[in-house]
Amino acid sequence: MHDIVNTAANFIHLDTINIVYLFLVGFVGGLVSGFIGSGGAFVLTPAMMSMGVPGLVAVASNMCHKFPKALIGSIKRAKYGQVDVKLGIVLGISAEAGVLYGAQIQENIKKAFGEAGSNLYVSAAFVVILAIVGGFVLLDAWKTYKSGNANNEEEKVTKLARWVQSVNIPGTMVYFKSINARISVLFTIPLGFATGMLAATIAVGGFIGVPAMIYVMGAPSLMASATELVIAFVMGLGGSFKFALHGLVDIRLAMIILAGSLFGIQLGAIGTTYVKPYMIKMVMGVIMVIVLFSRGLMVPVYLSQLGLIQEISAGSVKILKNVSFGIMIFALALGAFIVLKAMWQGRKAQQEMAAREVFEQSKI
């Protein structure tokens, strides 16, 4: 009984403003996730924490909204022929292992260096990984845009992916329809594992999963982002159950976010049918690079808390925190804006084409 009282104290009082706030952030997050496969959820954990939700409950509730959202998103995108279920499950299982290992590392760091050490580790992971992978993805999207090949449906397979596809390790080869080739699971396991580790660290595994599928395995962007939803479902289901075993899921928060995010994910998924493949990379790259600055701002705060640099005043810490959160919201909002704009233009172009066809037919 004592435990129940303690756990129940983890669950905050919800008022209308909080509900509307979570619904809206959920919607925007869902929109982005439906489009790029993930990446809409990273704002939710800090958003919940700013409402007074304890860190672990925020992480658990975020995860518990992610797996049903990913399920609906992947079903929707499977209807458009964009999902490689086999690849999603194969990567998802190794990602699950990565999540468990990543969570263990987090725990160890927390034990050894305290809350500030753990925060520093998360922020450093954000900055390093987003700088390398995000920079690469954005540059690639920008090059495609500039090269005049932006309208091409076919995407170039990287040299690395061609090499990965050419390696034949007997007994480990699996055929994946999205890649239209056989790949050794000895490649997919570490990639899935890294996706899971990142998910456990920064809550968005897709920032590694999607680029890995595109650049290392040679999957098309649309299929990679859709398949990421399957990975997110597998990871999220296992992760949520693990948190739920300890009574940490606040189902009200999870379901309110889900209410908004299911509107968003359906729209984001529809959006993918209107855009050129490079737009997936563009949105993903833009969000990754902006979020990198958001987390980068917090690094000095944690360094000072650990006593590694001069102490930063409480006022400055507050300003840095608010600016960092603001930049994160901006990243998500900008991503959503690009998705909606691209979708709007795509729809307009299609309507004009349909009108032209009717006109041509009427002339005959």
* Residues lying near other proteins in the complex (CB under 8 A): 3-4, 7-8, 10-11, 14, 64-65, 67-69, 71-72, 75-76, 79-82, 153, 155, 180, 220, 222-223, 237, 240-241, 244-252, 254-255, 258-259, 262-263, 266-267, 270, 272-275, 277, 346-347, 350, 354, 358
Cβ closer to other proteins: 97 or 244?
Answer: 244
Report in angstroms how near the CB of residue 254 gets to other proteins at its nearest: 7
H helices of the chain, where? 2-8, 16-36, 44-50, 55-79, 85-129, 135-147, 159-166, 185-202, 206-211, 221-245, 251-271, 278-305, 314-363
Cβ closer to other proteins: 169 or 349?
Answer: 349
Q: Contact 250/57 with Cβ under 8 angstroms?
A: yes
Cβ closer to other proteins: 47 or 223?
Answer: 223
Chain mean position to CA 188: 19
Report in angstroms how near the CB of residue 349 gets to other proteins at its nearest: 9
Cβ closer to other proteins: 250 or 324?
Answer: 250
Residue 52: exposure state from Cβ atoms within 10 A (0-12, 13-18, ≥19): exposed
Report in angstroms how near the CB of residue 79 gets to other proteins at its nearest: 8
Report in angstroms how near the CB of residue 76 gets to other proteins at its nearest: 7
List the one residue out of 52, 49, 28, 50 whose CA is nearest residue 40.
28
Report in angstroms how near the CB of residue 333 gets to other proteins at its nearest: 20
Task: Tell me the residue length of the chain.
Answer: 364
Cβ closer to other proteins: 94 or 225?
Answer: 225
List the one residue out of 202, 222, 201 whose CA is nearest residue 210.
222
Cβ closer to other proteins: 32 or 64?
Answer: 64
Report in angstroms how near the CB of residue 125 gets to other proteins at its nearest: 27
